[in-house]
């Protein structure tokens, strides 16, 4: 090898050595920056901005292209629609190729648990039960939410500038590093969501496995498992759901629920909810085969049995002024009535047990709900050949009010003196009907009706007229004999 060749070889080796040293220094510098307060503050700031909260990550731990943090904690600002968010055991796998394309690309992001509270204020986070979800036992709370992002932001352009503060740590600022995130897939092993349900009550989803993927500027979620709870509704086991989030709009493509306890029964949901401005919730609900006893209270559980089915549409604001309303139709299948007070009275008067316990061949109604008022319209309850009831009834804060057309067959009234003559005076549709309609009033715990006293009054009138007529006949006979 000539003299020129040796110089070329020496130059190539020197360049490779310099490049290796440069790569090593860059690797050390990048690793130091990724483990620094600057990176944590920057990542906290970017994630907080995306979520619309003020929060931060606990210190990260790196292993090659994988990073782990014990958690992220965020607190929503007033009017943001989110009260708080907490993520535990967060692990991300970065794609090295994305680094050279100017982006932190996450091939996967996984969290052991994510808890979100919707709404504003302490009432939402605590609910009526007082079980705070902001912090879990055994995990340290995040100090000074939002402080790191404001205090420890990237400064200057140095690559190994020693901190002037106490502790002698390194503070890095690498402006040429990627400044934006992309994420291909996310998974949460246990997702919890809480929302205000009025009067200090809280609804929730808990223990759900969720996977998320970006789609055209939005996020698509696929979830399964867990439990849905809402005041006034039995606990439901979550089967599977598909949701699209294009903040602030949430679109529910499908969601299937099953009754968690007490037998078979299913509910499906679809619709949308917008957590900003005045756009309302618009949610469609379909129920099939739910045991009605799950929705009844007190003595009604023993008086009415069957399976509830129907559809309803819920609409209203997600927050602020106004109230959530619903309207729909319900029907009861395999229905059975036991020991209703008014029917017990009729059974006693007729001397038959047919009115004490009977099956329902039809039980349907339109339903409207707004605030504390629940009304049933176009009620149709019928046991063929025995009884039919039509009309409407409403429950306003526990106060009952309604008018019901009550019909039965003529043969059933033979044992009640005066019932056919004085009370059930109208014939139509194969039944004889109480005239006027039966008025229903009272409270949810003690429903009153005016049919029973009318039957008793009719019986008294019938006895009086019959006895009076018999006495008059006897007097007339005696008078004729004397003359």
* Structural domains counted in the chain: 2
Same domain, 219 and 346: no
Strand partners, 270: 284
Say if 45 falls within a structural domain.
Answer: no
* pTM beyond cutoff 0.85: no
Is the torsion defined by CA of 55, 61, 67, 69 positive or negative? negative
In a domain, residue 311? The reply is no
- Asked if residue 288 belongs to a domain, the reply is no
Kind of pairing, strands 53-57 and 66-76?
A: antiparallel
Name the residue with tokens 């404001």: 150
Distances (CA, A) of 135 to 120, 125, 187, 225, 260: 17, 11, 21, 23, 27
3-state secondary structure of 221: strand
Q: What is the pLDDT of residue 322?
A: 66
Q: Residue 48 falls within a domain, yes or no?
A: no
Q: DSSP state, 170?
A: B
Distances (CA, A) of 257 to 111, 197, 212, 397, 472: 24, 19, 20, 29, 72
State how far the Cα of 68 lies from the Cα of 61, in Å rounded to an integer. 5
Task: Answer with the one of 195, 213, 231 that is the final residue of a domain.
Answer: 231
Residue 23 lies in a domain: no
Determine, yes or no, domain membership for 40: no
φ/ψ of residue 185, rounded to 5: -160, 145
**Do both 91 and 223 map to the same domain?**
yes
Print burial letters for 78-117: b (CB count within 10 Å at least 16), e (below 16): eebbbbbbbbbbbbbbbbeebeeeeebbbbebbbebbbbb
- Which of 255, 211, 210, 265 has its CA nearest to residue 235? 265
Residue 476 domain flag? yes
What are the backbone dihedrals phi and psi of residue 414, each rounded to the nearest 5 degrees, phi first? -65, -30
> 352 and 217, same structural domain?
no
pLDDT at res. 16: 52
From 183, 199, 231, the end of a domain falls on: 231
Structural contact between residues 442 and 396, judged by C-beta atoms closer than 8 angstroms: no
Whether residue 236 lies inside any domain: the answer is no
Last residue of a domain, one of 185, 213, 231: 231
The pLDDT profile of the chain, 483 residues, written as one tens digit per residue, is 555 545 545 555 455 555 544 444 445 555 666 677 777 887 788 777 777 788 888 888 888 778 889 999 989 877 666 788 999 999 988 887 766 677 777 788 899 999 988 865 443 333 333 333 333 333 333 333 333 333 333 333 333 333 333 333 334 445 556 667 677 888 999 999 998 877 778 889 999 999 998 888 888 999 999 999 988 788 899 999 999 988 788 899 999 999 887 667 899 999 998 877 666 789 999 999 998 888 777 777 778 889 999 999 999 876 656 678 899 999 999 998 886 666 766 777 666 677 778 899 999 999 999 888 999 999 999 999 888 999 999 999 889 999 999 999 888 888 788 888 889 999 999 999 999 999 999 987 788 888 888 888 876 666 555 544 444 444 454 444 444
Domain holding 123, by residue range, is: 53-135+172-231
């Amino acid at each position: 090898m000539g003299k020129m060749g040796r110089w070329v070889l020496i130059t190539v080796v020197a360049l490779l050595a310099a490049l290796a040293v440069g790569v090593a220094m860059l690797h050390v510098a990048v690793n130091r920056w990724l483990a620094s307060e600057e990176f944590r503050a920057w990542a906290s700031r970017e994630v907080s901005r995306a979520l619309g909260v003020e929060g931060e990550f606990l210190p990260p731990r790196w292993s090659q292209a994988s990073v782990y943090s014990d958690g992220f904690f965020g607190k929503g600002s007033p009017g943001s629609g989110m009260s708080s968010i907490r993520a535990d055991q967060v692990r991300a796998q970065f794609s090295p190729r994305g680094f050279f394309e100017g982006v932190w690309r996450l091939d996967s992001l996984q969290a052991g648990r994510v808890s979100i509270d919707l709404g504003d204020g302490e009432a939402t986070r605590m609910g009526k039960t007082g079980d705070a979800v902001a912090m879990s036992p055994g995990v340290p709370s995040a100090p000074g939410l939002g402080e790191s992002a404001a205090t420890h932001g990237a400064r200057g352009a140095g690559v190994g500038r020693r901190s002037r503060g106490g502790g002698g740590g390194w503070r890095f600022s690498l402006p040429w590093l990627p400044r934006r995130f992309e994420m291909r897939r996310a998974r949460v092993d246990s997702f919890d969501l809480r929302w205000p349900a009025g009067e200090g009550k809280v609804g929730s989803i808990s223990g759900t496995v969720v996977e998320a993927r970006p789609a055209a500027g939005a996020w698509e979620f696929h979830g399964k498992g867990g439990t849905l709870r809402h005041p006034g509704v039995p606990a439901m086991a979550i089967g599977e759901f598909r949701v699209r989030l294009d903040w602030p709009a949430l679109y529910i493509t499908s969601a299937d629920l099953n009754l968690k306890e007490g037998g078979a029964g299913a509910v499906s949901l679809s619709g949308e909810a917008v957590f900003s401005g005045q756009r309302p919730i618009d949610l469609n609900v379909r129920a099939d085969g739910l045991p009605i006893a799950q929705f009844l209270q007190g003595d009604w559980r023993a008086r009415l049995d069957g399976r509830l089915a129907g559809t309803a549409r819920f609409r209203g604001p997600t927050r602020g002024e106004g109230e959530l309303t619903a309207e729909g139709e319900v029907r009861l299948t395999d229905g059975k009535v036991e020991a209703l007070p008014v029917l017990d009275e009729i059974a006693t008067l007729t001397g038959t047990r047919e009115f004490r316990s009977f099956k329902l061949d039809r039980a349907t109604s339109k339903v409207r709900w707004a605030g504390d008022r629940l009304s049933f319209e176009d009620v149709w309850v019928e046991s063929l050949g025995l009884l039919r009831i039509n009309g409407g009834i409403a429950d306003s804060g526990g106060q009952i009010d309604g008018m019901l057309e009550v019909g039965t067959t003529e043969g059933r009234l033979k044992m009640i003196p005066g019932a056919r003559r004085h009370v059930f005076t109208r014939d139509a549709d194969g039944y004889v009907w109480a005239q006027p309609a039966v008025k229903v009033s009272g409270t949810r715990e003690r429903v009153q009706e005016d049919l029973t006293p009318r039957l008793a009054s009719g019986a008294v009138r019938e006895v009086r007229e019959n006895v009076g007529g018999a006495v008059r006949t006897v007097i007339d006979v005696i008078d004729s004999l004397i003359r």
